[in-house]
C-alpha cells in the first residue's frame, strides 16, 4: 500500500542541525521528496532524490535514503529561525502519471 510516515514535531536551537526522518512503504517509488510549507503558504519543493541514490547534498540540506529499510531523512545544517515550517516527506507513485503521496508533515520549531 501507499503510506508515508514521519514524526509530527521537532524542536532545535538556532545553529544546531535538524534531522527529520520519514519511512515509506511503496517499494516502487521512483522519487522521494522533501517539501517545506510555511503557515498559510503553498508547498515549496526543497529537494528530491532518485530511488537508486543513497545520498544527495544541496547547500545546507543533506538527504539520506536507505532503500532497504525504506527510510528517508533530511538534515538541515546550521538551522535558522527562518527554517521553522512544516516539512513534508513525499514519494511519487507511478500510475497514469506520477501522483505524489505525502506524509503527515513534521513541524520544525527553531528556538533562538
By CB under 8 A, name the binding residues for other proteins. Answer: 30-31, 35, 41-45, 48, 88, 92, 95-105
From residue 76, how far is each of 11, 40, 47, 97 by CA, in Å? 13, 22, 12, 31
State the nearest-atom distance from the C-beta of 74 to other proteins, in Å.
16
State the nearest-atom distance from the C-beta of 110 to other proteins, in Å.
20
Rounded-to-10 torsion of CA 82, 83, 84, 87: 150
Nearer Cβ to other proteins, position 43 or 64? 43
Nearer Cβ to other proteins, position 1 or 112? 1
Amino acid at each position: 500500500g501507499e503510506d508515508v510516515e514521519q514524526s509530527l514535531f521537532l524542536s532545535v536551537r538556532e545553529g544546531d542541525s535538524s534531522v527529520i526522518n520519514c519511512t515509506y512503504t511503496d517499494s516502487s517509488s521512483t522519487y522521494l521528496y522533501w517539501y517545506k510549507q510555511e503557515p498559510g503558504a503553498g508547498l515549496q519543493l526543497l529537494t528530491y532524490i532518485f530511488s537508486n541514490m543513497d545520498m544527495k547534498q544541496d547547500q545546507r540540506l543533506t538527504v539520506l535514503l536507505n532503500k532497504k529499510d525504506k527510510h528517508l531523512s533530511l538534515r538541515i545544517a546550521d538551522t535558522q529561525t527562518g527554517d521553522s515550517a512544516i516539512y513534508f516527506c513525499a514519494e511519487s507513485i507511478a500510475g497514469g502519471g506520477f501522483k505524489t503521496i505525502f506524509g503527515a508533515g513534521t513541524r520544525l520549531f527553531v528556538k533562538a
